[in-house]
């Protein structure tokens, strides 16, 4: 393969990041591409002086022009390599089976499979091909997955914005087996949740918040909870099962609230207060009404889709955190999150600290929060860290 391989040659000095095992080659670093390449082709990435750097997946329209598969010249990208990586990714998740049947089996670059996401909900797999790399191996991956994961039903949800940035059209539908039912029931830490893999957000459920749902549940006993951006009620149901005294949950999506109510009933809980509305307005109204809570969760959508949106996003994060802090009684807990990859852990902490100052309260940072173990991050690819959170106590 190496004699006939297409070659992507970098500009002088642009080899440094690949030498540091950072897997992305930006378009601005590319000097030329030699050979016949198409979306997802494997290219041999070379420095300006012709040294081998990586085998990478070529993405002709993306700002991330290539994503590294390996830094080992002797290991070109073959079906066997892809199968081995899938098998290893799945095997690494095995310990989670004791807690849940909703697991992210493959998380893109972190598992050495650029742009590929595979989630498992019971016996249903949901795949996302979000970049040219995994996409070029689509047929092979789709053939291998049922065997490796032990599931027959595979549904595709490659509808994310990331795909558009890669110049790939959105794709959704059944790939293998039976069409998914509207509600697939999963059990996580003995709590039941319904997942709509066709109509839900992402692949249907925020799998990444598993550990934080458990943490909230363990702190919930006797507390009055406010769950902002509740989606299908993950944090609320966990908290009520953990003994929360009451819960008010807010989301702008009626279908999500419908699933949330069904989740509550599926767990034998009496109906709590689910409110359709804009969190920014609801927080304001709750303050005006003089309401108080002892446990607040803020888990908003990505306010900063990219670095250009950071300033506006920071203002939005600050506003909701400021209002939430004012709604907390002393001793109350705030679990606050950002899933904006463009916002660093440091910056998020600064923004929340700014909210504490403006709220004129004292707050302790008790714990830093992150996504679960099935959403790992490559040590050499900090961009992979997107979900971060803080657990604060108002003193």
Active site (catalytic) residues: 339
Dihedral angle sign, alpha carbons of residues 200, 205, 209, 214: positive
Q: What residues between 235 and 264 interact with ligand SAH by CB under 6 A?
A: 235, 250-253, 256
**Shortest distance, CB of residue 122 to ligand SAH, whole angstroms?**
18
**Shortest distance, CB of residue 256 to ligand SAH, whole angstroms?**
5
DSSP output for 335-363 = EEEE--TTS-HHHHHHHHHHHHHHHT--E
In terms of CB distance, is 87 or 198 closer to ligand SAH?
198
Scan for tokens 């803080």, then name that residue.
Answer: 390
Q: Where does this chain touch ligand SAH (CB under 6 A) — which range of 138-146, 278-286, 307-315, 359-367?
A: 278-286
Please report whether residue 234 would count as binding ligand SAH according to CB under 6 A: yes
Strands (E), 168-276: 171-176, 184-188, 191-195, 224-228, 246-251, 273-276
Q: Where does this chain touch ligand SAH (CB under 6 A) — which range of 73-81, 154-162, 214-222, 272-280?
A: 272-280
39, 47, 124, 209: which one binds ligand SAH (CB under 6 A): 209
**Shortest distance, CB of residue 271 to ligand SAH, whole angstroms?**
19
Please report whether residue 301 would count as binding ligand SAH according to CB under 6 A: yes
Q: For residue 326, which of 360, 289, 374 has the smallest C-alpha distance? A: 360
Q: Which residues contact 207 (CB under 8 A, 6 or more apart)?
A: 102, 103, 104, 119, 372, 374, 375
Q: Which residues contact 185 (CB under 8 A, 6 or more apart)?
A: 122, 192, 193, 194, 195, 266
137, 155, 231, 348: which one binds ligand SAH (CB under 6 A): 231
Dihedral angle sign, alpha carbons of residues 313, 318, 323, 328: positive
Q: What residues between 84 and 143 interact with ligand SAH by CB under 6 A?
A: none
How far is it, in rounded angstroms, from Cα 222 to Cα 203? 33
Please report whether residue 317 would count as binding ligand SAH according to CB under 6 A: no
How far is it, in rounded angstroms, from Cα 6 to Cα 12? 19
How far is it, in rounded angstroms, from Cα 367 to Cα 391? 5
Alpha-carbon 382 to chain mean position: 14
In terms of CB distance, is 69 or 229 closer to ligand SAH?
229
Do residues 195 and 183 touch, judged by C-beta distance below 8 A?
A: yes
**Shortest distance, CB of residue 12 to ligand SAH, whole angstroms?**
44
Quote the DSSP letter at residue 179: P
Please report whether residue 304 would count as binding ligand SAH according to CB under 6 A: no
Q: How many residues line the site for ligand SAH (CB under 6 A)?
A: 19
In terms of CB distance, is 206 or 293 closer to ligand SAH?
206
In terms of CB distance, is 146 or 305 closer to ligand SAH?
305
Q: Where does this chain touch ligand SAH (CB under 6 A) — which range of 61-69, 129-137, 228-236, 325-333?
A: 228-236
Question: What track of x and - describes contact with ligand SAH for positions 149 through 188 (by CB under 6 A)?
Answer: ----------------------------------------
**Shortest distance, CB of residue 291 to ligand SAH, whole angstroms?**
17
Do residues 223 and 295 touch, judged by C-beta distance below 8 A?
A: yes
How far is it, in rounded angstroms, from Cα 167 to Cα 37? 15
Q: Where does this chain touch ligand SAH (CB under 6 A) — which range of 54-62, 114-122, 225-233, 372-380?
A: 225-233
Token couple for 246? 């009451």
How far is it, in rounded angstroms, from Cα 20 to Cα 162? 25
**Shortest distance, CB of residue 236 to ligand SAH, whole angstroms?**
9
- How many residues appear in the chain? 395
In terms of CB distance, is 300 or 384 closer to ligand SAH?
300
Residues that bind ligand SAH (CB under 6 A): 206, 209, 229-232, 234-235, 250-253, 256, 278-280, 299-301
């Amino acid at each position: 393969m190496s004699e006939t391989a297409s070659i992507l040659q970098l500009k002088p000095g642009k080899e440094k990041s690949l030498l540091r095992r950072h897997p992305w080659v930006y378009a601005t670093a590319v000097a030329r591409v030699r050979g016949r390449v198409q979306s997802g082709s494997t290219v041999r990435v070379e420095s300006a002086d012709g040294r081998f750097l990586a085998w990478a997946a070529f993405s002709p329209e993306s700002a991330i022009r290539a994503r590294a598969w390996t830094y080992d010249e002797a290991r070109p990208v073959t079906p066997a390599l892809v199968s081995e990586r899938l098998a290893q990714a799945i095997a690494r998740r095995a310990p989670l089976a004791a807690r849940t049947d909703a697991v992210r089996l493959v998380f893109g670059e972190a598992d050495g499979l650029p742009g590929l996401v595979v989630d498992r909900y019971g016996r249903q797999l949901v795949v996302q091909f979000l970049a040219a790399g995994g996409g070029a191996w689509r047929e092979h991956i789709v053939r291998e997955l049922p065997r490796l994961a032990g599931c027959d039903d595979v549904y595709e949800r490659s509808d994310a914005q990331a795909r558009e940035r890669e110049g790939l059209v959105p794709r959704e539908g059944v790939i293998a087996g039976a069409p998914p039912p509207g509600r697939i029931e999963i059990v996580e830490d003995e709590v039941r949740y319904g997942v709509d893999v066709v109509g839900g957000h992402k692949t249907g459920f925020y799998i990444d918040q598993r550990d934080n749902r458990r943490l909230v549940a363990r702190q919930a006993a006797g507390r009055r909870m406010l769950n902002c951006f509740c989606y299908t009620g993950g944090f609320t149901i966990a908290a009520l099962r953990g003994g929360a005294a009451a819960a008010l949950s807010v989301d702008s999506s009626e279908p999500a609230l419908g699933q949330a109510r069904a989740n509550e009933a599926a767990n034998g809980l009496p109906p709590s207060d689910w409110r359709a509305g804009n969190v920014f307005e609801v927080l304001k109204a709750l303050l005006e009404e003089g309401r108080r809570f002892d446990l607040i969760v803020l888990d908003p959508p990505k306010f900063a889709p990219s670095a250009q949106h950071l300033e506006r996003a920071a203002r939005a994060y600050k506003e909701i955190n400021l209002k939430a802090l004012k709604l907390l009684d002393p001793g109350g807990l705030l679990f606050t999150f950002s899933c904006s990859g463009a916002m660093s852990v440091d910056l998020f902490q600064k923004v929340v600290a700014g909210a504490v100052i403006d709220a004129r309260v004292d707050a302790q940072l008790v714990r830093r929060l992150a996504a679960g173990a099935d959403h790992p991050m490559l040590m050499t690819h900090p961009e992979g860290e997107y979900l971060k959170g803080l657990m604060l106590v108002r003193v």
